């Protein structure tokens, strides 16, 4: 019996062994076939479109050049990635990143055609993970006539001269001063400048969108936003994993729900107030929410939520980063800082009160840049947070003998144009004085262009200018910790630029 069992086990082992071998053989064969398929697919002539694609390299099968791109942009000097390829292939080249063949452009004329061709030859293209976080009615995702309408509504709110002058400037001025007042007790603790800049811009945008003053509600909303924004920069995961809260993306989805809930509450309350006010004469619309509610299209609650939520995202990362980088570059360029201080001390000396008005703003040639090119422009040129835009070709596009096939992804790099020595003398050096000579001949596009031109471009400049005025007239500062500039997933300083501020001793 024991022997039979022994034999039985022996035979069983043999069977198991041969089964294991069989499985191994099967997996190896499937693996080899899969790799061969990938290789053939990757290099097959069928993948090559009709017409000539800009030259370039596909990199390694499947991953392409993704890791090289990420490594370059995680460093302080990402330029070699573009420089090498531009040198080898020209200003239009093809690569393969983030799972897709992508045509990169460092050519200002091609970039212009990309942004101006929105809706005809090219269209915005975002991964579905971003669309889920933003909501499908957010401005960046809208297309066609509805996009046009919403874009112009946003411009009315954020770029109208009379609103900038009479509503936005006083609000910004007040919020900046309040935040700087709160710094006094923090001395001499290191203060991450980026956090403070984010607080100011968030509070301001909430005020402009829905007339809420800073307070507990705004701060709670901001905390959810921090989590939501982390989701944009998290590693995309398969959808069955991404909704788990242990992933950054899962936490972002939960935060989005919280933000949407809060915004829904504001919308409902406003609706009730409007019903009560119905019988009385209507005051002019005082914020973005009023504009949305009064629009003849009759937007749904979900449309308004998505729209407001995405506007807050758009302003939250961009302007504060540029504010922080302006301070960083000025700190590293004492002559530029001295010139700026002189100018702002002059403005301050001419006034009895601390607050700024429109005339003061217009007398800041070195800071703001509606006509001449100065500190903010130079920061946007050397280190813009938006280094370029992704688009997808809607039709075969022919350019300089190349064909970009329908469906192909395109990255129009503004950064590469701004840092090209052909376009700007001594292009890799921060030199605000360069802007006194000209305005970049239409190739300086930090706010994009065409139908998707950033509607916050004037607001951003105003916010940065007012912040700089109060910051340099009230404080001196030292860098508390060495900080590094990186460019992936976006341009920012790794530690949020911690500084130690001291009230300035007025001479």
Provide the binding-site residues for ligand HEM, judged by CB under 6 A.
124, 139-140, 151, 154, 158, 205, 311, 314-315, 318-319, 322, 384-386, 389, 446-448, 452, 454-456, 459-460
Angle between helices 66-73 and 79-89 (to 10 degrees): 130
φ, ψ of residue 483 in degrees (nearest 5): -125, 155
Q: Which is nearer to ligand HEM, 328 or 452 (CB)?
A: 452
Q: Which is nearer to ligand HEM, 262 or 385 (CB)?
A: 385
Q: How far is the CB of 248 from ligand HEM (least distance, A)?
A: 23
The DSSP call for residue 481 is S
Q: How far is the CB of 131 from ligand HEM (least distance, A)?
A: 13
318: which 2 tokens?
Answer: 């961009």
Q: Which is nearer to ligand HEM, 462 or 480 (CB)?
A: 462
8 Å CB contact between 225 and 195: no
Greatest alpha-carbon pair distance for the chain in Å reads 109
- Secondary structure element (H or E) that encloses residue 192, with its range: strand 191-192
Q: How far is the CB of 311 from ligand HEM (least distance, A)?
A: 5
Q: Is 312 exposed, middle or buried (0-12, 13-18, 19+ CB in 10 A)?
A: buried
- For the CA atoms of 236, 240, 245, 246, the dihedral, rounded to the nearest 10 degrees, stands at -70
Residue 174 marked in a binding site: no
8 Å CB contact between 104 and 408: no
Rg of the chain, C-alpha, whole Å: 27
Using CB positions, name the residue nearest to ligand HEM: 456
Q: Which is nearer to ligand HEM, 327 or 480 (CB)?
A: 327
Q: How far is the CB of 436 from ligand HEM (least distance, A)?
A: 21
Q: How far is the CB of 151 from ligand HEM (least distance, A)?
A: 4
Q: Which is nearer to ligand HEM, 248 or 394 (CB)?
A: 394
8 Å CB contact between 225 and 255: yes
8 Å CB contact between 263 and 309: yes
Closest CA to 265 of 227, 222, 221, 228: 221
φ, ψ of residue 291 in degrees (nearest 5): -60, -45
The SS3 of residue 180 is: helix
Q: Which is nearer to ligand HEM, 208 or 473 (CB)?
A: 208
The SS3 of residue 59 is: coil
Q: How far is the CB of 458 from ligand HEM (least distance, A)?
A: 9
Q: Which is nearer to ligand HEM, 423 or 490 (CB)?
A: 490
| Strand pairing class (475-479; 485-486) | unpaired
Is the C-alpha dihedral spanning 141, 142, 144, 150 positive or negative? Answer: negative
8 Å CB contact between 175 and 203: yes
Q: How far is the CB of 382 from ligand HEM (least distance, A)?
A: 13
Q: How far is the CB of 481 from ligand HEM (least distance, A)?
A: 24
Unique residue bearing structure tokens 């989805």: 253
Within 10 A of 152 (CB to CB), how many other CB atoms are there?
12
Q: Which is nearer to ligand HEM, 288 or 480 (CB)?
A: 288
Q: Which is nearer to ligand HEM, 203 or 348 (CB)?
A: 203
CA–CA gap between residue 43 and residue 250 (Å, rounded): 36
Q: How far is the CB of 461 from ligand HEM (least distance, A)?
A: 8
Q: How far is the CB of 154 from ligand HEM (least distance, A)?
A: 6
Q: Which is nearer to ligand HEM, 243 or 439 (CB)?
A: 439
236: which 2 tokens?
Answer: 């995309």
Residue numbering of the annotated binding site for heme:
454
Residue numbering of the annotated binding site:
454
């Amino acid at each position: 019996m024991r022997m039979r069992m022994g034999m039985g086990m022996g035979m069983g082992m043999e069977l198991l062994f041969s089964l294991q071998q069989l499985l191994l053989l099967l997996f190896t064969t499937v693996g080899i076939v899969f790799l061969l398929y990938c290789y053939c697919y990757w290099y097959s002539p069928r993948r090559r479109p009709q017409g000539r694609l800009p030259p370039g390299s596909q990199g390694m099968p499947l991953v392409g050049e993704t890791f090289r791109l990420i490594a370059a942009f995680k460093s302080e000097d990402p330029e070699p990635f573009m420089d090498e390829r531009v040198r080898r292939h020209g200003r239009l080249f093809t690569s393969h990143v983030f799972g897709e063949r992508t045509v990169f452009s460092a050519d200002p004329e091609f970039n212009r055609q990309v942004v101006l061709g929105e809706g005809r030859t090219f269209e915005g293209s975002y991964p579905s993970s971003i669309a889920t976080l933003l909501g499908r009615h957010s401005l960046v995702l809208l297309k066609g006539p509805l996009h046009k309408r919403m874009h112009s509504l946003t411009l009315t709110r954020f770029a109208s001269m009379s609103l900038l002058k009479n509503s936005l400037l006083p609000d910004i001025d007040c919020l900046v001063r309040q935040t700087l007042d709160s710094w006094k007790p923090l001395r001499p603790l290191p203060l991450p400048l980026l956090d403070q800049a984010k607080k100011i811009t968030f509070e301001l945008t909430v005020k402009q969108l829905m007339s809420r003053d800073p307070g507990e509600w705004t701060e709670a909303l901001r905390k959810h936003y921090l989590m939501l924004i982390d989701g944009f920069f998290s590693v995309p995961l398969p959808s069955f994993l991404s909704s788990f809260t242990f992933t950054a993306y899962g936490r972002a989805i939960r935060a989005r729900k919280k933000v949407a809930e809060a915004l829904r509450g504001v919308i409902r309350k406003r609706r009730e107030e409007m019903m009560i006010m119905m019988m009385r004469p209507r005051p002019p619309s005082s914020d973005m929410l009023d504009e949305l509610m009064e629009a003849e299209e009759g937007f749904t609650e979900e449309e308004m939520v998505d729209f407001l939520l995405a506007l807050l995202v758009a302003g939250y990362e961009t302007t504060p980063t540029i504010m922080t980088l302006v301070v960083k570059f000025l700190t590293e360029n004492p002559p530029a800082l001295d010139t700026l201080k002189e100018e702002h001390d002059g403005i301050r000396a001419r006034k009895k009160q601390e607050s700024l008005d429109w005339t003061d703003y217009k007398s800041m040639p070195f800071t703001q840049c509606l006509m001449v090119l100065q500190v903010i422009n130079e920061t946007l040129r050397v280190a813009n947070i938006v280094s370029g835009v992704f688009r997808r070709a809607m039709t075969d596009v022919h350019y300089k003998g190349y064909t970009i096939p329908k469906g192909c992804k395109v990255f129009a790099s503004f950064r590469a144009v701004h840092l090209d020595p052909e376009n700007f003398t001594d292009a890799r050096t921060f030199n605000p004085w360069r802007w006194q000579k000209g305005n970049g001949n239409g190739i300086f596009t930090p706010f994009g262009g065409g139908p998707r031109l950033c509607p916050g471009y004037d607001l951003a400049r105003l916010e940065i200018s007012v912040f700089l005025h109060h910051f340099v007239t009230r404080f001196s500062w030292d860098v508390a910790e060495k900080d590094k500039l990186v460019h992936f997933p976006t341009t920012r300083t790794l530690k949020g630029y911690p500084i130690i501020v001291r009230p300035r001793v007025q001479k």
